[in-house]
Structure 1
Amino acid sequence: MPDISGEWAVELHGVTRRYGRGGTAVHALRGIDLTLPRRSFTAVMGPSGSGKSTFLQCAAGLDRPTRGTVRLGGTEITGMKENKLTALRRTRLGFVFQAFNLLPSLTVEQNVVLPTRLAGHRPDRRRAAEVLAQVGLADKARRRPGQLSGGQQQRVAIARALVTRPDVVFADEPTGALDTTTAAEILALLRDAVDTHGATVVMVTHDPTAAAWADRVLFLADGEIADHLDRAPATTIASRMTALTTRPTYAPAAA
């Protein structure tokens, strides 16, 4: 994964996340050290309870690590006040979730510009039209989410994630609710966002076929990075996941 800009999009240094105290404490992350370059597509996989959801939440500033530091686009967010962190998430991060999370009462265009409006800026309709065209929905701006298919709704979510030209797009199981053909279309859009438009994508997925679209696949187990693969086919990724899941030392940590 070449580092085009010479800067890191995501940096985690010694990141741990513990829930609870004493003998009942759950160690979801155990000292994650990781740097991801700009314009890269990273998939994160792991057995149930491996820490991948906690990893995404800490990396995206949705949860605070117990120890360690997180930097996004060169900005340290670990000790940032909540209001500043919220502003950063709205302007410099994009999010795509399995459930789409669109507001049904708003039009497609209004959903896309929502992060801009929440950040207190005037919505840029030209930019909204640009990203809607990028995801193949140029003619759907006035529709409402309920008038669209699941795949189209996820395209709207991707347009919304890209509208602010974020430092990083975090995607949590973005194809989990879609059929195989539609999932491939969504993954192609994320791939194109990286290759053509210079985005950085970090995607949690359980699907080796989805992970095969990424430049690198990180495997978590017991709250640690246990392995990685670069530009690997789905069969190789699936085999590595099987080996990780069945290894005798594996003991669940936290989802």
Structure 2
Amino acid sequence: MRGVERQYGRGAGAVHALAGVDLALPRGTFTAVMGPSGSGKSTFLQCAAGLDRPTAGSVRLGGTEITGMSENELTELRRNRLGFVFQAFNLLPSLTAEQNVLLPVRLAGQRQDRRRAAEVLAQVGLADKARRRPGELSGGQQQRVAIARALVTSPDVVFADEPTGALDTGTAAEVLGLLRHAVDRIGATVVMVTHDPPAAAWADRVLFLADGAFAGVLERGSAEQVAARMTQLTARTAATGAGTGAMAGAVA
């Protein structure tokens, strides 16, 4: 992302959700993004993933400039080169776990490889649940299916939006362990938006957003360190009111 801005509305009532974001994400890394409510986390993820168009700046995926792509081109890019994991799982209830995993392949009009589905289901510990429908699985198992679906196309980047928000602490740790495993063993690149310091502590680094700009980075921080930084950032943002736009810079 280079100079990415996202503005909603015009004139005095305009909201600057992103205020000139510069960011480079290395391949094969796990990045968490945190920030106070309204800091721009969701807008950041949507612009980075081609789900929303920046008002200014450019977004590149590898060597591909995606900012000026048509909607059809963006749809194809998201289907083939990106994976998504959401808080609400977003599984189709009428499909089996195997069918849900293969959905991106089916939508792309490609041959559905059941062996590939079995491989990724085994990677998330669900080799014996391929024929089960979401209603027959626990919340944690459903999120495992969602992770398998995100990995089935071997995407360049997996975007995870509050992936543990609907899970208890123990199940959340299992799901985060799977994302960590995808990075360490499969070479995936994971970008996760979260409000939870223990979740962020699984990442290689945590990026902090405030008022649409990056306000700091923490490498390999513990849950306690992440929580302390978030407390400081929230207090500073509330105290200044003017935001931390001046602190924005390249985070590489």
- TM-score computed with the length of structure 1 as normaliser: 0.94
Quick one: which of 191, 201, 212 aligns to 1:223?
212
Work out the CA distance in 2 between the residues paired with 1:91 and 1:213.
26
Equivalent position of 1:5 in the other structure = none
Q: Structure 2: which amino acid aligns with 1:249?
A: T
Q: By percentage of residues, which structure has more strand?
A: 1
Equivalent in the alignment of 1:207: 196
Q: Which residue in the other structure is 1:95 paired with?
A: 84
SS at match of 2:24: strand
* Alpha-carbon separation, structure 1, partners of 2:128 and 2:141: 12
Structure with the higher helix share, 1 or 2: 2
1:73 Cα offset (Å):
2.6
Distance, in Å, in 2 between the alignment partners of 1:228 and 1:30 is 17
Find the aligned partners of 1:164 and 1:67 in 2 and give their Cα distance: 30
Structure 2 Cα separation of the partners of residues 211 and 177 of structure 1: 16
- Tell me what 2:8 maps to: 19
Q: Deviations over 1:170-193 (max 9, x none)?
A: 000000000000000000000000
Is 1:84 aligned to residue 110 of structure 2? no
Check conservation: 1:222, 1:250, Cα contact below 8 A: no
> What is the CA-CA distance between 1:132 and the residue it aligns to?
0.1
What residue is the counterpart of 2:108 in the other structure? 119
Which of 219, 226, 235 is residue 237 of structure 1 equivalent to?
226
Matched, 1:47 2:47: no
Question: Aligned partners of 1:123 and 1:64: how far apart in 2?
Answer: 31
* Runs (5+) with no aligned partner, structure 1: 1-11
Corresponding position: 1:33 with 2:54: no
Q: Secondary structure at the match of 2:22?
A: strand
Q: Does 1:249 align with 2:244?
A: no
Q: Secondary structure at the match of 2:23?
A: strand
Distance 2:70 2:211 in 1: 30
- Look up the match of 2:119: 130
1:138-177 per-position Cα deviation (integer Å, ceiling 9, x unaligned): 0000010000000000000000000000000000000000
Aligned to 2:249: none
For residue 3 of structure 1, what is the aligned residue in structure 2? none
1:160 and 2:144 aligned: no
What value does the CA root-mean-square deviation take over the aligned residues? 1.0
Show structure 1 runs of 4+ deviating over 3 A. 250-253
Distance 2:87 2:188 in 1: 20
The AA in structure 2 aligned to 1:65 is: P
Alpha-carbon distance in 2 for matches of 1:94, 1:101: 13
Q: State the alpha-carbon separation in 1 of the partners of residues 168 and 105 from structure 2.
A: 31
- Could you give the per-residue CA deviations for residues 77-133 of structure 1, whole angstroms, max 9, x where no partner exists? 000011011001001000000000000000100000000111111111111000000
How far does residue 75 in structure 1 lie from its aligned partner after superposition? 1.0
What is the match of residue 180 of structure 1?
169
Deviation at 1:74, TM superposition (A): 2.1
SS in 1 for 2:117: helix
Counterpart CA distance in 1 for 2:219 and 2:65 is: 27
Give yes or no for contact 1:135–1:159 (8 Å, CA) kept in 2.
Answer: yes
Q: Specify the code of the residue in structure 2 equivalent to 1:15.
A: V
Q: In the alignment, is the contact (CA less than 8 A) between 1:50 and 1:252 conserved in 2?
A: no
Cα distance, 1:251 vs. partner? 5.4
Instruction: Determine helix, strand or coil for the equivalent of 1:37.
Output: coil
Q: State the SS of the aligned residue for 1:42.
A: strand
Q: Secondary structure at the match of 2:109?
A: coil
- Residue deviations 1:182-226 (CA, integer Å, cap 9, x gap): 000000000000000000000000000000000010000010000
Q: 1:221, 1:250 within 8 Å by CA — same for their partners in 2? A: no
Contact 1:40 1:201 in 2 (8 A): yes
